[in-house]
Amino acid sequence: RKCQLIPSEEDSTLKTRKENISSNSTSESQYTLLAIWCLAGLVSFLILFTIVGNVLVVIAVLTSRALKPPQNLFLVSLASADILVATLVMPFSLANELMGFWFFGKIWCDIYLALDVLFCTSSIVHLCAISLDRYWSVTQAVEYNLKRTPKRVKGMIVVVWLISAIISFPPLISMDRSSSEASPQCMLNDETWYILYSSIGSFFAPCVIMILVYIRIYQVAKTRTRTLSEKKRDVDSPSSSDEKLKKSSCSSKHHHEDRKDRKASRKSSSASKYSSRKSRASSKSIDLFSSRRKRRSTVNRKKVSAAREKRFTFVLAVVMGVFVVCWFPFFFSYSLYGICREPCQIPLTLFKFFFWIGYCNSSLNPVIYTIFNQDFRRAFQKILCKSWKRSF
């Protein structure tokens, strides 16, 4: 209103720009009012679900005794990246999509693009680090578990974020920021070199590393399971000492029958000798049983530990698989466009769908932990029950 009351050249320019943006927004936005409300509601629910789910993951790892092992700090950092996607990226992506132009200025456009690329890259680099952590814990169980302290894991997390920043930020510096005043847009560099660089660095290269590492983990775990099964059979099968004990028992029984035919004067001395021999055989049997029991319990402990590692590795493999499924369509179509441009370009609606499916991945990790991991399930129930009791 002040612009209308005080006529000036600057104000009329500002007014014209606002009118241009307003008219352009109505023409650029391809959605009806009903579609806008539906999309806004759906994405708002997705944002809320992502934040709540990943906050639960952070609280669970930091408070639950069962989730205290230092390697779970990787999951805290990964959940933090997903929370940041939901708070600093997704709302602006939604506004940009529904309005049809970038409303928030050039400075925030630069920040928004940098954060978007950074958080996506950090998610997959986190998964890469987790897969390597799993590999070392399987192949160098004793040595690596002694080295895997909270301090060392935190250092690895810092390295993960630094690698993500190194991959993400340099190309953004050379980005073309020219945009018309009437319809400001916030888009990444459209040059072929940048599209291929970001696709390979942020997705395809880490994916190849993860897949190779998990194949190796599977091979090692399979070999180890076979070895443990063979050890279990060795423990359960009768050993040479068992055979000796049987022979000793049979021999003592035979001598006992022979001694029945001897004279009554020697009966008491024979009985005492037989008694001492029987007690020696009995103590030998107890010692053998005790050693076998110890061996069996050691094997069982190793088997339980291996099973727990195997289950957790499976959960993380599911997390990795879901991430690849969610982001592969976007990066594949994006890199294909970078190589052959218009002939390989998919419909814009389908490309946007792939883009948002990638964002959906940020909400799925808490669901995966709940379905496949009992410790997380118990921790989530405990947290929710406590908060429910406090609210009443």
Domains of the chain: residue spans and CATH: 32-230+305-391 (1.20.1070.10)
Give the residue carrying structure tokens 């600057």.
10
Half-sphere exposure for 193 (CA within 13 Å, toward CB): 5
In the numeric block, which tokens belong to residue 106? 């050039």
In the numeric block, which tokens belong to residue 222? 């399979």
Q: How far is it, in rounded angstroms, from Cα 233 to Cα 362?
A: 45
In the numeric block, which tokens belong to residue 327? 């982001």
In the numeric block, which tokens belong to residue 248? 């000793």
Question: How far is CA 204 from its chain centroid?
Answer: 17
Neighbours of 205 (CB within 10 A): 14
SS3 per-residue string spanning the chain: CHHHHCCCHHHHHHHHHHHHHHHHHHHHCCCCHHHHHHHHHHHHHHHHHHHHHHHHHHHHHHHCCCCCCHHHHHHHHHHHHHHHHHHHHHHHHHHHHHHCCCCCCHHHHHHHHHHHHHHHHHHHHHHHHHHHHHHHHHHCHHHHHHHCCHHHHHHHHHHHHHHHHHHHHHHHHCCCCCCCCCCCCCCCCCCHHHHHHHHHHHHHHHHHHHHHHHHHHHHHHHHHHHHHHHHHHHHHCCCHHHHHHHHHHHHHHHHHHHHCCCCHHHHHHHHHHHHHHHHHHHHHHHHHHHHHHHHHHHHHHHHHHHHHHHHHHHHHHHHHHHHHHHHHHHHHHHHHHHHHCHHHCCCHHHHHHHHHHHHHHHHHHHHHHHHHCHHHHHHHHHHHHHHHHHHC
**Cα 149–Cα 155–Cα 159 angle in degrees, nearest 5:** 145
Task: Please report, in tens digits, the pLDDT of each residue of the chain (392 residues total).
Answer: 333 333 444 444 434 444 444 444 444 567 888 989 999 999 999 999 999 999 999 999 999 888 888 989 999 999 999 999 999 999 999 998 888 888 888 888 888 888 998 998 999 999 999 999 888 888 887 888 888 899 999 999 999 999 999 888 876 665 555 555 556 778 777 888 888 888 998 899 999 999 999 888 888 877 877 666 666 565 555 555 455 545 555 454 455 445 545 544 454 555 555 555 555 555 655 665 566 566 566 555 556 555 666 677 788 888 888 988 999 999 999 999 888 888 888 888 898 999 999 999 999 999 998 888 888 999 999 998 887 777 76
- Kindly list the distances between the CA atom of residue 87 and the CA atoms of 43, 51, 302, in Å, as whole numbers in the listed order: 12, 8, 43
Query: pLDDT value at position 1?
Result: 38
Q: How far is it, in rounded angstroms, from Cα 144 to Cα 138?
A: 9
Cβ distance 112 to 95 under 8 Å?
Answer: no
**Residue 73: exposure state from Cβ atoms within 10 A (0-12, 13-18, ≥19):** middle
Give the residue carrying structure tokens 């509601």.
41
Query: pLDDT value at position 387?
Result: 76
Nearest residue to 75 via CA among 366, 379, 305: 366
